[in-house]
Amino acid sequence: MSNQTVSPGALLAGRYRIAELLAEIDGARVWRAVDEVLSRAVVVDVLPVGDPRTNLLFDAARRAAAAADPRFLRVLDCDMHDGVTYCVREWAGGRPLERMLSNGPLTGQQAGWLAREVSEALENLHRTGHAHGSISPATVVVTDAGAIKVVGLSTEAALRSTGPGSPEQDVRALGELLYASLTARWPGPAPAWGLQPAPVEHGRLLSPRQVRAGVPRSLDDISDRLLSNPPRHHAPPITSAAGLSAALSGVVGSSHEPPSQMDETVAIARQNGSVDDATQVVPPTPPPALDPTPPAYQSNGQEQHSAYSAPAETRPVRRQAPPPSNGNGHRRRPDEPKPKGGWGGRILILLAVLALLSVIAMAQFLLKGAMNNDQGTDDAGGDKTAPQTSTTPSATGGAAKIVSAKDFDPKPDGNGSEHPEDVGNTYDSKPTTTWTTQSYSRPKLGNQKPGVGIIYNLGSPTSVSKVSVALQGEGTSLQVLIPKGDTAQSPGAVSGWTPVATQEDAPEGTANLTPSQPTQTQYVLVWLTELPKEKDSSKYRGEISEVTIQK
């Protein structure tokens, strides 16, 4: 028997009935088979006669058999039959991450939980001095029950002739796994596992939040600490599976139970562009799940990367509102009539409202009289003619509603994009979320362009009396600009805007920019012209946490 004669229907070693070809790896073939002794599905790796990887596969199978963590699929048998080397592994119906990512990235909760499960399995393995050696989107599977299984412990590396690997290589692979899960892009120079390479700027891999809007900042930081050398902001690198497990547990919790369906709260947060709130607090219940219901696997006769079917769509589950109370601490039945208040109670409420209005009117009268007396008497006790005061309320006041916003980095001086995925952080009422510019070699944006900024759309022409900008870093110079001419149109070039307020060298904190006269406009441009120096760095970068526009 040879590798070529092992085909569907063949009985290998008098026990394993070959069913279908799942993959081919450098001449080695991976089959789904049935163990006829125990009546169960298995996976069989088959090497041809005389293949130099035979001893590697035997050694890998022995190492894999010693692994006790249930998240690794066990090696059940490894032997030779008629000159053919075969290795039998457990079967787990489900979907590999490789196919799941072909439909797009995971949510922050899903990606963090999946990476934490794999890192904990590897943490236990590394304590024994061994490594997996070939962690990838093809070797991580979400089973039909929603649990995580890691395929090909040691044996995958043997089939690919990459050696046994090391814990350091496994941790690097975990970083790639997390990055790919968050962005559906591969953090490498070439396409891999069906994913296009992630973008690079100035020779440095962009962080997940720079690639896709809505990535939780906590997971973005963890990914950067795994892959960047050195990590941004002088954060300590994560160099072990144990360190990664601890970091991820602080974000998505530590439950090992398969998560339930996605919570509506997380779904709403994703629609708003961020799930930071949903992921930074350890939930009392398991985090949102990967949909455990896969469609049936269908073989098309083509070479397959993996033995598992594609993912089904994950949908949020809407929670039902609790039934209303009847006012006595008990739930009111749907057919129970609503209690009606009596006329006496309504009359008392009406009288109370009238009394309150009378008190307010009297207070206003007394206050006005006191103000007029003050204005009619000078410091020496002499009389002055009291100036006329208006009781008409000002038409201005209060915060204007920001309908939308977009980054502004116009060409040809700019590249047309300046972290557009983070613009929403500047008007989300969360001071901990920010928008940043790119990093530049000089404070005046590397002398490359006059500035960068964000355009805020107020929905309709609005009176603007003040713009408050919460800044990070010392020494930011900025302006408030409005469109020239028709202020209901947003110009595409800097020349189409005119400044109405300027502040130079603003300290960290809130900069209040007040136009010299009332300004009516639909669009407001916050324009940074000089950037503060990054902490512990020779680069310069602007950062805005919140913008408020006052009427």
Domain CATH number, residue 235: 1.10.510.10
* Structure-token match 């991580």, residue found: 140
72 to 64, 151, 153: CA distances (angstroms): 9, 6, 7
Those residues with Cβ within 8 angstroms of residue 340's Cβ, 6 or more apart along the chain or in another chain: none
Q: Does residue 109 share a domain with residue 235?
A: yes
Q: What is the DSSP string of 423-478?
A: GGGGGSS-TT--EE---BSSTTGGGSSS-EEEEEEEEEEEEE-EEEEEEESS-EEE
- Please check whether residue 157 lies inside any domain of the structure: yes
At 254 the pLDDT is 79
Q: Which of 90, 107, 122 finishes a domain?
A: 90
At 177 the pLDDT is 97
Provide the angle, in degrees to the nearest 10, between the axes of the packed helices 217-227 and 241-252.
Answer: 170
Q: Does residue 79 share a domain with residue 224?
A: no
When divided into structural domains, the chain yields a total of: 3
318 to 288, 315, 324, 399, 528: CA distances (angstroms): 13, 9, 18, 33, 42
- Please check whether residue 287 lies inside any domain of the structure: no
Q: Does residue 478 share a domain with residue 407?
A: yes
- Report residue 266: phi and psi, to 5°: -65, -40
- Please check whether residue 160 lies inside any domain of the structure: yes
At 482 the pLDDT is 95
Which CATH number do you get for residue 25?
3.30.200.20
Q: Which of 231, 251, 272 finishes a domain?
A: 272
At 346 the pLDDT is 65
Rounded CA-CA distance 433/425 in Å is: 5
Q: Which domain holds residue 104?
A: 94-272
- Please check whether residue 295 lies inside any domain of the structure: no
At 305 the pLDDT is 42
Q: Which of 247, 272, 297 finishes a domain?
A: 272
Q: Does residue 203 share a domain with residue 112?
A: yes
- Please check whether residue 286 lies inside any domain of the structure: no
Q: Does residue 532 share a domain with residue 462?
A: yes
At 67 the pLDDT is 83
Which CATH number do you get for residue 493?
2.60.120.260
pLDDT values of the chain reduced to their tens digit, one per residue, 551 residues: 555 568 899 999 999 999 999 888 888 899 999 999 999 999 999 998 888 898 989 988 888 887 888 899 889 999 998 888 999 999 888 889 999 999 999 999 899 999 999 999 999 899 988 999 999 999 999 988 888 999 888 888 888 887 788 999 999 999 999 999 999 999 999 999 999 999 999 889 999 999 999 899 999 999 999 999 899 988 999 999 999 999 999 998 877 765 553 333 333 333 433 333 223 333 333 444 343 333 333 333 333 344 333 333 333 333 344 444 444 444 444 444 444 445 555 666 777 777 777 777 676 666 555 554 444 444 433 333 333 333 333 345 689 999 999 999 988 777 788 888 899 999 998 888 899 998 888 899 877 789 999 999 999 999 999 999 999 999 999 999 999 988 889 999 999 999 999 999 899 899 999 998 778 999 999 999 999 998 878 888 999 999 999 99
- Please check whether residue 515 lies inside any domain of the structure: yes
Q: Does residue 474 share a domain with residue 450?
A: yes
Q: Does residue 254 share a domain with residue 142?
A: yes
- Please check whether residue 380 lies inside any domain of the structure: no
Q: Does residue 129 share a domain with residue 60?
A: no
Q: Does residue 64 share a domain with residue 188?
A: no
The Cβ of residue 235 has, within 10 Å, a number of other Cβ atoms equal to 13
Rounded CA-CA distance 177/118 in Å is: 10
At 367 the pLDDT is 56
At 169 the pLDDT is 94
Cα within 13 Å of Cα(209), Cβ side: 25
Q: Does residue 118 share a domain with residue 43?
A: no
The Cβ of residue 7 has, within 10 Å, a number of other Cβ atoms equal to 12
Contact, 368 vs 379, CB < 8 A?
no
Q: Does residue 100 share a domain with residue 86?
A: no
Q: Does residue 170 share a domain with residue 192?
A: yes
- Please check whether residue 389 lies inside any domain of the structure: no
